[in-house]
């Protein structure tokens, strides 16, 4: 069934931010009136750390990218692909930072981490972590829901996450950081691209040539290079693949709402 808004002949443009599943439905329904469409859909952001990266800066960036809105953000880092020589040190440092966060009600002073949005999301996060642990991952810190009232999940860092773990494929939307090691630049890019989504990625390296190669190879609409934040009102915001199409922000975002008209004159 098509909603009355999409059936209205006055409508010229549809812009949607939400899940890929709902986005597909809206794209299909908008086709009847041939609407222009912009879709900002799901994400599965990889966070790549190479062995020449500033590890302290990478941990700072990881905290920013992972814990924004408790991980319940489309731009939140979903999985951490780390060069083998620094994978364990990174996981330990990140675990120290995550473990030091105070979990509690947002109305209480000193609280760093509040509850997830609802019981369904809490169940999903629990299911994804349990799946990874059953497949051989190790909980460096956290790893379970908090007993009692509310939808609280411990800030969690998982190490030695196998490639078949569901949380490397699915959007976690919670305070969980899975760490998987890689042994080459090619393997890192391949692991980052091994997803149907392509909204944002994060890359940490001190090698400019490598940075340019990796950024070129990543199948994603946005990249944070040596920084854990990409959102900027002056920059184009949006993704590729199943993360959608079209852009918000900057000149490109304005053009999404404009039509090009060509007039050939002979006066």
Same domain? For 205 and 245 the reply is no
Residue 107: predicted pLDDT: 87
Same domain? For 128 and 192 the reply is yes
Asked whether residue 126 is domain-assigned, the answer is yes
Asked whether residue 164 is domain-assigned, the answer is yes
Asked whether residue 167 is domain-assigned, the answer is yes
Residue 2: predicted pLDDT: 65
Residue 1: predicted pLDDT: 53
Same domain? For 200 and 247 the reply is no
Asked whether residue 262 is domain-assigned, the answer is no
Same domain? For 147 and 170 the reply is yes
Residue 134: predicted pLDDT: 97
Residue 4: predicted pLDDT: 85
Domain count of the fold of the chain: 2
pLDDT block averages, 10 residues each, the chain of length 267: 82 94 94 94 97 98 95 95 97 98 90 94 97 98 93 97 96 97 98 97 98 98 97 94 95 93 96
Residue 237 to residue 247: CA distance in whole angstroms: 5
* CA distances (Å), origin 84, targets 52, 75, 118, 256: 12, 25, 36, 42
* CA distances (Å), origin 126, targets 68, 141, 154, 167, 240: 19, 14, 10, 11, 29
Same domain? For 123 and 109 the reply is yes
Asked whether residue 169 is domain-assigned, the answer is yes
Same domain? For 60 and 26 the reply is no
Same domain? For 148 and 251 the reply is no
Residue 154: predicted pLDDT: 97
Same domain? For 167 and 247 the reply is no
Give residue 35's domain range. Answer: 4-41+241-255
Asked whether residue 216 is domain-assigned, the answer is yes
Q: Which positions are annotated as active-site residues? A: 40, 74
Asked whether residue 267 is domain-assigned, the answer is no
Asked whether residue 264 is domain-assigned, the answer is no
Residue 212: predicted pLDDT: 98
Please state the pTM of the whole predicted model. 0.94
Domain CATH for 189? 3.40.309.10
Same domain? For 190 and 144 the reply is yes
């Amino acid at each position: 069934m098509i909603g009355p808004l999409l059936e209205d002949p006055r409508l010229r443009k549809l812009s949607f931010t939400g899940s890929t599943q709902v986005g597909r439905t809206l794209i299909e329904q908008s086709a009847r009136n041939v609407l222009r469409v912009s879709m900002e859909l799901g994400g599965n952001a990889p966070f790549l750390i190479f062995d020449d990266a500033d590890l302290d800066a990478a941990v700072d960036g990881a905290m920013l990218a992972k814990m924004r809105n408790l991980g319940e953000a489309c731009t939140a880092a979903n999985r951490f692909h780390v060069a083998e020589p620094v994978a364990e040190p990174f996981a330990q440092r990140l675990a120290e930072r995550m473990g030091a966060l105070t979990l509690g009600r947002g109305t209480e002073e000193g609280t760093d981490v509040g509850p997830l949005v609802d019981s369904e999301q809490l169940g999903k996060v629990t299911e994804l972590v349990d799946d990874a642990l059953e497949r051989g991952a190790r909980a460096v810190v956290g790893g379970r829901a908090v007993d009692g009232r509310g939808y609280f999940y411990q800030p969690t860092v998982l190490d030695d996450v196998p490639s078949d773990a569901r949380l490397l494929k699915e959007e976690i939307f919670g305070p969980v950081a899975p760490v998987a090691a890689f042994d080459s630049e090619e393997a890192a890019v391949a692991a980052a691209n091994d997803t149907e989504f392509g909204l944002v990625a994060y890359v940490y390296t001190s090698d400019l040539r490598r940075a340019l190669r990796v950024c070129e190879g990543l199948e994603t609409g946005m990249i944070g290079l040596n920084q854990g934040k990409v959102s900027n009102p002056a920059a184009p915001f949006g993704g590729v693949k199943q993360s959608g199409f079209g852009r918000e922000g900057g000149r490109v975002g304005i053009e999404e709402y404009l039509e090009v008209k060509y007039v050939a004159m002979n006066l």
